[in-house]
Structure 1
């Protein structure tokens, strides 16, 4: 897993239940109808750009969703996706076998992939519970609700659900990766450009605009100046450069 990759991608899905599947089939009883891939790409000057791609399975006779996701995946990117969603996408691609999706196949096989729910230790945790615990915004829309509002003629609602899930996973990863490495860079490098991009989505994805004011994103914005000063000192080789922790006069909550 290359956590220092200049390209980080997060996948989110919106699914509907498959009622003809046996009980207790887990992810195999869910069919994706929309997906989103959010990409963070670091430029040569060290700044990061965010790109969000939305897609749906709106037309049976058009390219299937798995193939469309394949077109958005970049070689050698670190991919953030849940284990269950990898199983769902693998089953979907195999069920509609016609095209070839080598990048998606690598993701489904777990190559250069990270699941935020497994970053706290063996066994993993529930993604929605983890999001609530860390005040990370995401979509809590159920499969039944997606189905109730799903329309091949108007797939935008399902696409927005998928986009919110992809964004939420990237925020989760940034929080946990900063903790894992004991460095602020994953947190600020990810959340600062992500928040700016989310604000720009006000018309196309209103839920993202609301998510942009969540606690982790506002914290990144509040400490951005301190982080940039720290990074500059490190780049200059300052031996006294240290990231602020719990110090007098700083408010932490």
Structure 2
């Protein structure tokens, strides 16, 4: 069963940045990305979704610059979950490399197809604080931390930081979209395949363990059978089927 409220492809971008000296503080100018991650949810023919994870970093100086790698990892036209600040960071970095071959990043810079997951919950929120409030593990690494970790010969630590950001943004979107649509679909259709994919990566990327063990993923797994039954009834044309409510005696935590 397919749902018009959920796009067939949606992607989230996370960055790991180092500070740039002698630039105005608290602006996009002061940050330079050295690693990135793109998490993409793709709808299958049966209406369920698969999660694809791509990590990349600036490991080769003056060759295959990071903006080009990010551009190539993005699906054209698909909605992209990223904050406005990180859009500005990407635009500045792409322009500074002078390749001018990143049409997907240009699209993001013009706000085309951009979903700011923080703005979904209202103006003025801090992304990390919002994640904590919703029980979503967020990257606590500062740009100074990333600068200490960044090593072209061993980029995994910075890639993991970027991946944590991308996953947390996909989770924020899933929470916000389910609330806005009054339906559990975005939450389960995002978190169930994403959890499965992260569990596959856990062995090679131990930094993902807190994400996999987080409350939202555990809730999605705990209620997966209820959701699948609900979805199957709707697919069969049962207009009386409804999602769980407090009256069903379910724990809300």
For Structure 1 versus Structure 2, the TM-score category normalised by the shorter chain is over 0.9
Deviates more, 1:39-48 or 1:129-138: 39-48
Tell me the matched-pair count. 250
Question: What is the TM-score with the length of structure 2 in the denominator?
Answer: 0.95
Question: Secondary structure in 1 aligned to 2:98?
Answer: coil
Deviations 1:8-54 (A, max 9, x none): 110000001111213x3412100000001111101112221111111
Deviations 1:158-185 (A, max 9, x none): 1111011101110111011101111100
Deviates more, 1:197-206 or 1:161-170: 197-206
Deviations 1:63-110 (A, max 9, x none): 111011010111221110011100000000111112411111111211
Q: Pick closer, same or farther for the CA change 1:19–1:117 going to 2, 3 Å.
A: same
Aligned-residue RMSD, C-alpha: 1.3
Aligned pairs for 1:233-244 within 5 A: 233-244=233-244
Aligned pairs for 1:43-58 within 5 A: 43-58=44-59
- Structure 1 unaligned regions, length at least 5: none
Task: List, as ranges, runs of 4+ consecutive aligned residues in structure 1 with deviation greater than 2 Å.
Answer: none
Residue 65 in structure 1 maps to residue 62 in structure 2: no
Residue 7 in structure 1 maps to residue 9 in structure 2: yes
Instruction: Assess if the C-alpha contact under 8 Å between 2:5 and 2:181 holds in 1.
Output: no
Instruction: Assess if the C-alpha contact under 8 Å between 1:34 and 1:57 holds in 2.
Output: yes
Q: Pick closer, same or farther for the CA change 1:3–1:77 going to 2, 3 Å.
A: farther
Question: Secondary structure in 2 aligned to 1:200?
Answer: helix
Distance 1:19 1:161 in 2: 21
Question: Secondary structure in 2 aligned to 1:71?
Answer: helix
Deviations 1:104-128 (A, max 9, x none): 111121111101110022x241100
Distance 1:61 1:170 in 2: 31
Distance 1:73 1:27 in 2: 21
Question: What is the TM-score with the length of structure 1 in the denominator?
Answer: 0.95
